[in-house]
Amino acid sequence: MMKKLCLLAGIVLLVAPSVRSQSREAATSGAHRLFVGGEVSTFNPDWGCVSASPFNCWNGHLVGLGAVADANHVWKNLGIEGEARWLNWAGPGLGLKESNYLAGPRYQLFRKANLALYAKGLLGSSHITRPLNLGEGAYFTLAPGGTAEYGLTWRMVIRVEYEYQIWTGFRGLPGEPINGLTPNGFSFGVGYRL
């Protein structure tokens, strides 16, 4: 029994310094970092508001939830982001809802300690349900934006982002010309590193 304890103690003494010398990040991850998370969003829907600014028409903003996934540093500072957002609450009322399903590249502009800033350019599909049963539709969407992330722990980040959406083929009401729609706003959320 004493031989086994001495052998075990010897192994621990030999292995312990080498385990301590490696960082947790190097031991448990590769170059890619995959985050998944959730967000709360407030967007000016660009419907029923005099101004499309995200700082105006607060009583007309749509509020909703979103899911996001980021793969950072796929190639150098370039990564990929995908998001889905459902803006189903508040707004000007009468049944207006918007949802988005977007994906595209994101680029890390700055990193210092736990703070990182990203620029992104997403594209995909957005859906609107117009108020007063005036119809619904899905539209191709371009969405440039920016994200700030702050690492709380090695696995958890908080994030704030601004996104400006361009719905190129949107037509307000039947018979009107195609003039596009530009919903834009802010999202606040958390991400978890897998």
Per-residue model confidence as pLDDT tens digits over 46-77: 887 777 788 888 888 999 999 999 998 899 99
* Contact by Cβ (8 Å): 183, 57: no
pLDDT band at 111 (very low <50, low <70, confident <90, very high): very high
- The per-residue pLDDT for 38 is 98
Least confident of 15-29, 57-71, 110-124: 15-29
- Looking at per-residue pLDDT, the higher value among 96 and 121 belongs to 121
- H helices present in 24-152, as ranges: 24-28
- Output 31 or 81, whichever has higher pLDDT: 81
Taking the CA atoms of the chain, what radius of gyration do you get in angstroms?
A: 23
By the 8 A CB rule, do 70 and 106 touch?
yes
Per residue in 132-163, pLDDT (tens digit) is: 777 788 999 999 999 999 999 999 999 999 99
Q: Taking 60 as the threshold, does the pLDDT of residue 105 lie above it? A: yes
**What pLDDT score was predicted for residue 49?**
75
Q: Return the domain boundaries, the chain.
A: 33-193
Alpha helices in the chain (DSSP H): 2-20, 24-28
Residue (of 41, 18, 15, 28) closest to 161 by Cα position: 41
Domain covering 33-193, topology: Porin (2.40.160)
Give residue 6's pLDDT.
53
